[in-house]
Structure 1
Amino acid sequence: MNIYLILVALISLSAAFAYINHRFIKMPFVIGLFFLSTILSLVILSERWWDSGRYLETRAYLAQIELSNVILDVMLGFLLFAGSLHTRWTDIRLQLRPITFFAVLGVVFSTLLIGGAIFWVSGLLDAQIDLLHCFIFGALISPTDPIAVLGILTKANVSKKVESTIVGESLFNDGIGVVIFVALFETLKLGNDHIDFGHFGVLFLQEAVGGMLFGLALGYALHYLLKSIDNYETEVLLTIAFVMSGYALSNYFHLSGALAMVVMGLLVGNYKREASMSDRTQEYVHKFWELIDVILNAVLFISIGFVLVFIDFTTAHILIGLLAVLVVLIARVIVIWIPALTFKRLIQFTNNETKIIIWGGLRGGLSIALVLSLPAGEAKDMLVIATYFCVVFSILLQGLTVGKLAKRLSEK
C-alpha cells in the first residue's frame, strides 16, 4: 500500500466516522472518531481467532503507516502552529504564572513521579522495567492534549481563566515533554544504564531555549514578510512554508520544533496582527489553519485508535496498563492541586476550578507517537500498553465526563 492509498484510507475513514458520529452517536468530534476507530480496531483484533491470515495482512498494511513518524515529523508542527495561531496572547498572559508552573515544573515533577511509581509497580509485578525507560514513560505521558476537551468546556461555560490555563499549559507542555523525552532518549541511545545529568541538562537547554529563540526568529521573519505584501493567497502559502521548513530545520539542528511552532504561532497571531495582515488575509489565514487543525486531528484520533491492533496482551501487561492509569491520575492531582494550595498568590484558582483543570488534562496522540518511536523490546511493549490504556481512559472517560463535571461545579 503506497502513501497515497494510506492517506485515502485515513481521510475516507475520518469522513465516514465523522458523519456517523454527528448523525447518530453525537459524541464530541474527536472523541467520537476515537471511539469508532477503537471499535473498528477491536473488530480487526478479533480476526486473530477466526481469520488469522486476514488479521496478519491487515496488521501489515497498518504497520506501513509508521504512525510515530507521521505524527512527530509531520502533524505535530502543523497542529501546534494552528493551535497557537488561534490563541490570544492577552488571555495567556493573564494566566502566565500558573501556565509556566504547570507546563514546565509540572511536567518535570510529573515525569519523576510517574517514572518512579512505574519502576516500583513493575517490580512488584515481577515485570521490572528499567528506571530510564520508566522516566521516558513519565516524560511522554505527562503532556496534556486540549483538543478533545476545549469544545466541551466552552459549552459548559467554564471561566475564561480555566480555559486559557488548559490551552496554554497544553501548548507549552507538549514542547517541554518532547524536550525531556528527547534528552532521555538520547541518553538511552548512548547505552548508559544511568542518567548523565550533565548531558541531559545540555540537551534540555539546547532543545528548549534554542527552540524558543528559533521560533521567535521565524515569527519575526514571517511577520515582516506578511507585512510587506497584501495578497492572501501568497500569505497563506508563506505560513505553510514557514511551518514546514521551520519544523524541519528545528529537527535538523536538534532544536525543539514543537516549542518553535508554538512561539511562532503566538507571535504571528498576536504581534501587531492588524499591521501585518489585512482583515481579508486574517480571515483566510485563520480559516485555512482552522480547517487544517480539524482535518489533522480527525486523522490523528482515527490513527491512534488503530494502535490496539499492534498490542499483544499478557496478564502482567494489562495489570501494568491499569495501574499506569491510576499512577498518571495521582501524579496529575499532585502537580496541580498541591501547588494550587501551597502557592495561592501565584496560582489563584478556586477548588472547583482546580478540579476541572485536573480532570481536563487529557492525554492524546503525542504520547502514542512518542512511545511508538522507542526501540523494539520488552520495555517498549509494556510501555505501549501502559500508554494506550492511559489515552483510552483519558479520552473516553475523562473526555466524556469533564463537561458534566464543569457544569455541576459551575452551578455551585
Structure 2
Amino acid sequence: MFLVTIAAGIGIEENLKQFILVLLVSLSVATLSQSVSWFRQIPYTLLLVIAGLGLAFIDVRLVNLSPPLILFIFLPPLLFEAAWNMQWPALKRDLVPISIYAVFGVVISVAGTALALWQLAGISLATALLIGASVSATDPVSVIALFRELGVEKRLSMLMEGESLFNDGIAVVAFTFLVGFSFGTTEFTIQSLIVEFLTFVGIGIGVGIFIGFGISYLTQRFDLPFVEQSITLISAYGAYLVAEDLGGSGVIAVVITGLILGNFGSRIGMNPRTRVVVTEFWEFVAFFLNSIVFLLIGDQISFAGLGENLGSIAIAIAAVILTRALAIYGLGGLCNWLAKSEISLPDQTVLWWGGLRGSVSIALALSIPTGLPNREATIAIVFGVVLFTLLVQGVTTKTLLEKLGLLSDRTQRQEYLEAIARRVTINRILNHLSQAAINPEIEPEYYQQLTDRLQEELDSVQKEIDQMYARHPQLHEFSVNQLQKDLVAIEDDTYAEFVRKGWLNESPSSLLDDVFKQESAIPAEGK
C-alpha cells in the first residue's frame, strides 16, 4: 500500500511537471505573438498549433491525454463561456438558419466526404463514413477563438458560433451511430437513426434547462460573487456529465445551461458587479484553456501517418471544402427564401471558408475502437483535414474578411468608440472641475487654463466625431443600436432588482422590444 502511494505521488508530480511545461510553451507563444510584429499577422491560436507541430516534429510530446479526457477537460468550459456571452435575442433571430446548418449541413458533409473517399480513395464505405462523421462538425473552440480574435461582425460571428455550438451534438450522434454500424451492433434504419437523434438531443436540452433554471433561481437567494462564480464552473462540468451519463448530448446540455445562465440567471440572480466578475472569470478560463488545447492539437500529430495517407488526405480535404460550400450556399439560399434570413453572399463565403475543424474532430477520431480496421489511417486522414483547415483556412480567413470588406466596419467602429470614450472622459473631468472647491494652494489661473485646454480638446474630439459621421453614415445606425443595448440592459437590471426583492416572481416581457419595433416601423421621412 505504501509503495502504491509513492507511485501515485510520483505520477502526480510528473503530470504536474508536464502541465507546467505546457503552460510555459503556451505563454511563450503568447508573448512572442505580441512582441514580434510579423507574428501579429497570424492569430494567436494558430501560432499555438504551429508551435505544437514543431514539438511533434522533434518528437517532444508534452502530454498524453485520452480523447474522452480531452473532451471532458476542455470542451465544457469553452462551450459554456461561448454560450454565456451569446445574446439570446440575436440567437433567436437566426435560429432557423443555425438549426438548418447544424442538422442538414452535417448530413451533407458526412455523405459527401464518405462518397468521395469510397469512390476515389478506395476506402471501405464503413471507414469513409466514420471519417466523414469525424470531420463533419465545425469545431466551436477553433471557430470562436479565431472569430473573436479577428473581431468579426456580430451577426456573422453569431451565425458561425451558433452553428458550431449546435452541430457538434449532431456530429456526435452520427459518429456514435456509425461506430455501431461498423461493428454490426446498430441496425441501419432511418427510423432508428431519428429516434436515437431525438433522444440524444432531447436529453441534452432537458438537462440544460433543468440545471440552467435551477441555478438561476438558486443564485437569487444570496449575493456572493465568488460562490456564484464557482457555481457556474460546476454547472458547466455538471451539465456535461449528467447528460452523458443519461445517454444524451453533453455538448447541447452545456450550451443550453450557458445560454440560460448568461441571458436569464445572470439578470435575475446576480447584481451587475457579480455579472462582471463572473464574465471576466470566464474570459480568463477561455484564454487559459485555448492556450493549451491548440498547442496539444499540433503536438498530437504523427508525421509518418500523414505521409502514408497524403492521397486520401487530399481527397478528404477537397470533399470537405466542396460539401461545406454546397451546404452553406445551398442551405443559405433556402434560409433566405423560407425565413427571410438575409444572409448576404459575402457572409456565406466567410461561413464556408471559416468552417474550421479542430479538437472535437481529433477527439472523435482518436476514440475509434482499436478493433476497427484502418483505424490508424482514419486518424491520419482526420488529422490532415484538421491541419489544413487550421493552417490554411485559418490563416487566410482574415485576408478573406478584408477582401470582402467585412473588417473595415470594425475599424471604423473602434475609432468611433474611442472618440466617444474621449468625449465622455473630458466632459466628466470638466464637470468635476466645475463642481470641485478651488484648492487655495493652486492659482485660479491654472484652473482656468486647464479648463480652456480641455475645452479645446473637447471641441477637437467633437469635430473628429462629426467628420466620422460625414464619411461613414452607417455609424448612425451603429449608435442607435448601442443606445438600444444600453436601454435594454437598464430595463433588464430594473426587472431583476424587483425579482430579487420578491416583488415579482419573474421578469415581465420586454417593453422596449415593442417600442423599438414601433420605432423601426415609422418611415424615415416621418421621423
* TM-score, reference length from structure 2: 0.69
Larger radius of gyration: 2
Partner residue of 1:209? 202
Partner residue of 1:65? 65
2:122 is the alignment partner of 1:107? no
Partner residue of 1:360? 354
Aligned mate of 1:17, from 9, 29, 45: 29
Partner residue of 1:118? 117
2:334 is the alignment partner of 1:319? no
Per the alignment, do residues 212 and 313 of structure 1 end up closer, same or farther by CA in structure 2, a change over 3 Å counting?
same
Partner residue of 2:274? 281
Partner residue of 2:468? none
Q: State the AA in 1 paired with 2:379.
A: V
1:191 CA displacement = 4.4
Q: State the AA in 1 paired with 2:400.
A: L
Distance (Å, rounded) in 2 between the aligned partners of 1:185 and 1:198: 17
Distance (Å, rounded) in 2 between the aligned partners of 1:136 and 1:313: 18
Per-residue CA distance 1:206-242 (angstroms, 9 max, x = gap): 2111111111111111111112211011111111222
Partner residue of 1:344? 336
> Number of aligned pairs?
389
2:169 is the alignment partner of 1:175? yes
Per the alignment, do residues 359 and 291 of structure 1 end up closer, same or farther by CA in structure 2, a change over 3 Å counting?
same
Q: State the AA in 2 paired with 1:103.
A: A
Which has the higher relative contact order, 1 or 2, with Cα contacts under 8 A spaced 6 or more apart? 1
Per-residue CA distance 1:156-202 (angstroms, 9 max, x = gap): 6754321210111111112221222223234444546x734444333
Partner residue of 2:395? 400
Q: 1:157·1:407 contact (CA, 8 Å) conserved in 2?
A: no
2:89 is the alignment partner of 1:90? yes
Per-residue CA distance 1:139-171 (angstroms, 9 max, x = gap): 221111354455665676754321210111111
Distance (Å, rounded) in 1 between the aligned partners of 2:159 and 2:283: 21
CA RMSD of aligned residues (A): 2.3
State the identity as a percent. Answer: 27
Per-residue CA distance 1:231-266 (angstroms, 9 max, x = gap): 011111111222222221212111100000000100
SS class of match (1:118): helix
Listed as ranges, the gaps of 5+ residues in structure 1 are 45-57
2:230 is the alignment partner of 1:237? yes
1:406 CA displacement = 1.2
Q: State the AA in 2 paired with 1:304.
A: I
Distance (Å, rounded) in 2 between the aligned partners of 1:13 and 1:331: 36
1:308 CA displacement = 1.5
Per-residue CA distance 1:346-381 (angstroms, 9 max, x = gap): 342222221111111111111011101112354221
Per the alignment, do residues 146 and 99 of structure 1 end up closer, same or farther by CA in structure 2, a change over 3 Å counting?
same
Distance (Å, rounded) in 2 between the aligned partners of 1:182 and 1:111: 13
Q: State the AA in 1 paired with 2:65.
A: I
Listed as ranges, the gaps of 5+ residues in structure 2 are 1-10, 409-527
Q: State the AA in 1 paired with 2:269.
A: S
Per-residue CA distance 1:94-126 (angstroms, 9 max, x = gap): 111111111112112222222222222221xxx
Partner residue of 2:320? 328
Partner residue of 1:388? 383
Q: 1:92·1:168 contact (CA, 8 Å) conserved in 2?
A: yes
Distance (Å, rounded) in 2 between the aligned partners of 1:257 and 1:150: 19
Q: 1:28·1:148 contact (CA, 8 Å) conserved in 2?
A: no
Distance (Å, rounded) in 1 between the aligned partners of 2:279 and 2:306: 44
Aligned mate of 1:7, from 4, 15, 19: 19
Residues 326-335 or 391-400, more deviating: 391-400
Q: 1:21·1:33 contact (CA, 8 Å) conserved in 2?
A: no
Q: State the AA in 2 paired with 1:297.
A: N
2:32 is the alignment partner of 1:40? no
Per-residue CA distance 1:29-68 (angstroms, 9 max, x = gap): 1111111111221222xxxxxxxxxxxxx56x74x422x1
SS class of match (1:344): helix
